[in-house]
Amino acid sequence: MAFAARHLLLLIALSAVAFALIAAMPADPVITALTAWNVAPTPEAVAALRQQWGLDVPLPARYLFWLARFAVGDWGISFRTGLPVIGELLGRLPLSLGLGIGGLLLAIFGSVPLGFFAALAPNGLADRASRLLAALAQAAPPFLLGLAAIWLLAARLHLLHPFGANPGSVGLAILLIAFRSMGVLARVYRRGILEVSATPFMLTALAKGLSRRRALWRHGQRHGLLALLAAARSEAAWAIGASAAVEVLFGLPGISQFLVDSVESRDYFVLQDYVMVVAIWLLLLNAIAQALLARLDPRAA
C-alpha cells in the first residue's frame, strides 16, 4: 500500500513539474493552434479558445483542472490532427511498448548466457566479448548504429525496407534497443555471480564434487538475477529513450514519433499527456521489477 502511495505521489509531482515547464514554453499554444487552422488570431477567437482550453485561469488552477480531466480520460484535443489525444497516444502505444519492452527483454535474456559464461571463465572469450559489447554500446548510440544498419542492410545489401512499420524495420529497431543494454546487463549478471564464487557454500559445493559450472549455475544464479533485475530498472528508462530514437530513425508510427511532430507545432495537450504516459510506463516497469526482486529476495520488498 505504501509502495503504491509513494508511486502515486511521485507521479503527481512529476506531472506538476512537467506541466509548469510546458506552460513556460515561449510559444502561445492558442496562437499556434489558430495559425495552424488558418484562422485569424483575433482577440475574440483567442479569448474563446483560451476559455475552452481552461487557459484563462491561474496556473495552479489550470494544473488541477488538467489533472482532473486526465484522470477521467479527457486528455484534450490535438489541434494538429483535430482528434482526441487519448486515442492518438493509446493507438500508437502498443508499437512503442513493443519496441521498448521487446528490446529490454531481448537484452535481459541475451545477457544471462553471456554473463554466465563470462563469469565461468574470467578473461575468456565470453568475458572479453561482453566487455567489448558494453564498451561499443556506450560509444555508439542507437541512432548512429541505425544509420549504419540502414546503409549496410538496405542501401548496400537490399535485405530490408528500412522505413515504416514492417517486420524488417521493427525487428532491427528492437535489436538496436537491445544492443546497448545487453552488454551492460551481462557485466552486471557476471559480477553478481562472481560475488558468491568464494563464499563458504560455493566452496562446499565444489568440495562435494560439483563442477564449477554446475556450482555457479545452481548457487550463483539467484544472486546474478537479483543484480540483473536491479540494473534492468535503470535500463528501462534508457529503453524508452532508445525507442524514441529508432521510431524517428525508421519512421515508425509510435508515440515518440507523434511527439516529435507535436513539438514542432507546439501541440499543447499532446506534450502534457505524453509526459504522463511515459511516467506511468516507467512506474509500472519499476513496480514489476520490484515485485520480481521481492519474489527472489523477500528482503528487497
Q: Which residue has the cell 483535430?
A: 82
Mean pLDDT in consecutive groups of 10 residues from the start of the chain, 301 residues? 73 86 78 78 83 81 87 84 87 88 90 88 86 82 80 79 78 86 88 79 72 76 83 80 83 85 78 86 80 68 51
Of the candidates 11, 217, 199, the residue with the CA atom closest to the CA atom of residue 117: 217
pLDDT tens figures, 2-40: 667 777 888 888 888 888 888 887 777 778 778 777 888
- Taking the whole predicted model, whether its pTM rises above 0.85 is answered as no
Query: Cβ(173)–Cβ(246) under 8 Å?
Result: yes
Query: Cβ(236)–Cβ(282) under 8 Å?
Result: yes
CA distance 66 to 187: 44
Instruction: Give residue 179's pLDDT.
Output: 84
CA distance 119 to 192: 9
Instruction: Give residue 299's pLDDT.
Output: 58
CB atoms within 10 A of CB 222: 14
Instruction: Give residue 220's pLDDT.
Output: 75
Residue at 21: amino acid letter: L
Instruction: Give residue 106's pLDDT.
Output: 92
The full set of domain ranges for the chain reads 2-71, 93-300
SS3 call for 140: coil
The CATH code that applies to domain 93-300 is 1.10.3720.10
The C-alpha cell that represents 188 in the structure block: 552486471
